[in-house]
């Protein structure tokens, strides 16, 4: 690096010692500039400097990632499922229970059938499309009812166990662990054999077997929250346990509860289908996707559409529920965002 021109001219103009001393700071600064130049170059070449120099690119990349991870597929499938469950029986082209043996095993329209029965008919001449829409209503009712009941009871157990602690916590958690260890299907078979198969019994059975997962996860959140400063200050100010639970703990675990409920919705629908497939769920002639799968399993080689369409509906609904729950979990957890 060349010596600054200003420093050379000041040395030439200087006529006595006092004036020559004025050039020392400039010369010292020039020497320091030469020494510090490599460090400045290293700072400019660092990744931190590059990131700070391109804030617009980083913001654009973040917006692109957020748009790329939005749950369009799962949201659309769940919206169709809810819409079919709400208005499906009203727009069904035929009755879900009317039997007409003259329409025995009509194929779908794309396999040589007619538009009067676009997805074909079953072994009793009932319209498959109408029964799919009716089965969506039952799956939606059972799934939402199980999620609400099991979520409410699991939240109650988690609040009592996590906040009070001590012996109450130990007893409730051992009971929760015993419930989690017991197979849900085996519990459903035992309870269904005692109380019988009905839509209400299916909801109760699945709720009894599903509350433990809510209690276990939410209890860990309560244990973390009760050590936070705002809860400690509320205790110091004399707030009671019920007030703290209602004002501080429940609002802060709602995001976790919503994520669990979305994930458990698919599990409840799948369990209802499995129970109906085994003959301990919603009894016929009420349409259910599991019952349609069970009936179609006897005609896989001759009438494949009987098991195909309810299987697709059940698989897509459970998959969409799981994808939506995973997306909600990633959005509610800051460490999981990309």
pLDDT tens digits, one per residue of 87-96: 888 888 888 8
Q: What's residue 69's pLDDT?
A: 64
At residue 127, what are phi and psi to the nearest 5 degrees? -70, 125
- CATH number of the domain to which 146 belongs: 1.10.3720.10
Number of domain units in the chain? 1
Q: Exposed/middle/buried for 18, CB within 10 Å: 0-12, 13-18, 19+?
A: exposed
Quick check: 115 pLDDT over 80? yes
Domain assignment of residue 39, yes or no: no
Three-state secondary structure string covering 82-148: HHHHHHHHHHCCCCCCCCCHHHCCCCCHHHCCCCCCCCCECCCCCEHHHHHHHHHHHHHHHHHHHHH
Residue 226 is part of which domain span?
Answer: 140-336
Higher pLDDT, 44 or 229: 229
Domain assignment of residue 30, yes or no: no
pLDDT tens digits, one per residue of 238-293: 888 899 998 889 999 988 898 899 888 888 898 888 888 888 888 888 888 988 99
pLDDT tens digits, one per residue of 201-228: 889 989 988 899 999 999 999 999 988 8
Q: Which pTM does this prediction carry? A: 0.74
Domain assignment of residue 293, yes or no: yes
Quick check: 333 pLDDT over 70? no
């Amino acid at each position: 690096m060349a010596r600054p021109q200003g420093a050379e001219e000041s040395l030439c103009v200087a006529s006595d010692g006092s004036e020559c001393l004025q050039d020392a700071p400039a010369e010292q600064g020039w020497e320091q500039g030469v020494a510090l130049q490599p460090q400045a170059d290293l700072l400019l070449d660092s990744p931190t400097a590059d990131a700070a120099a391109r804030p617009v690119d980083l913001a654009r990349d973040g917006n692109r990632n957020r748009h790329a991870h939005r749950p369009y597929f799962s949201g659309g499938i769940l919206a169709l499922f809810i819409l079919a469950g709400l208005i499906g029986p009203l727009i069904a082209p035929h009755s879900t229970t009317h039997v007409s043996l003259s329409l025995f095993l009509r194929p779908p329209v794309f396999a040589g059938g007619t538009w009067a029965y676009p997805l074909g008919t079953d072994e009793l001449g009932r319209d498959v499309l109408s029964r799919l829409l009716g089965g969506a209503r039952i799956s939606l009712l059972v799934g939402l009812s199980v999620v609400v009941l099991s979520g409410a009871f699991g939240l109650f157990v988690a609040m009592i166990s996590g906040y009070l602690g001590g012996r109450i916590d130990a007893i409730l958690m051992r009971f929760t662990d015993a419930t989690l260890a017991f197979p849900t299907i085996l519990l459903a078979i035992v309870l269904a054999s005692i109380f019988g198969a009905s839509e209400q019994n299916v909801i109760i059975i699945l709720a009894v077997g599903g509350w433990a997962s809510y209690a276990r996860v939410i209890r860990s959140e309560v244990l973390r929250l009760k050590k936070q400063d705002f809860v400690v200050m509320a205790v110091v100010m004399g707030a009671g346990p019920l007030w703290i639970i209602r004002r501080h703990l429940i609002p802060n675990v709602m995001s976790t509860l919503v994520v669990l409920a979305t994930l458990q919705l698919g599990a409840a629908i799948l369990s209802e289908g499995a129970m109906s497939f085994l003959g301990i769920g919603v009894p016929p002639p009420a349409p259910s996707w599991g019952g349609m799968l069970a009936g179609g399993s006897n005609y896989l080689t001759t009438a494949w559409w009987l098991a195909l369409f309810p299987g697709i509906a059940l698989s897509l609904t459970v998959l969409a529920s799981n994808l939506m729950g995973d997306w909600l979990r990633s959005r509610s957890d800051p460490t999981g965002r990309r």
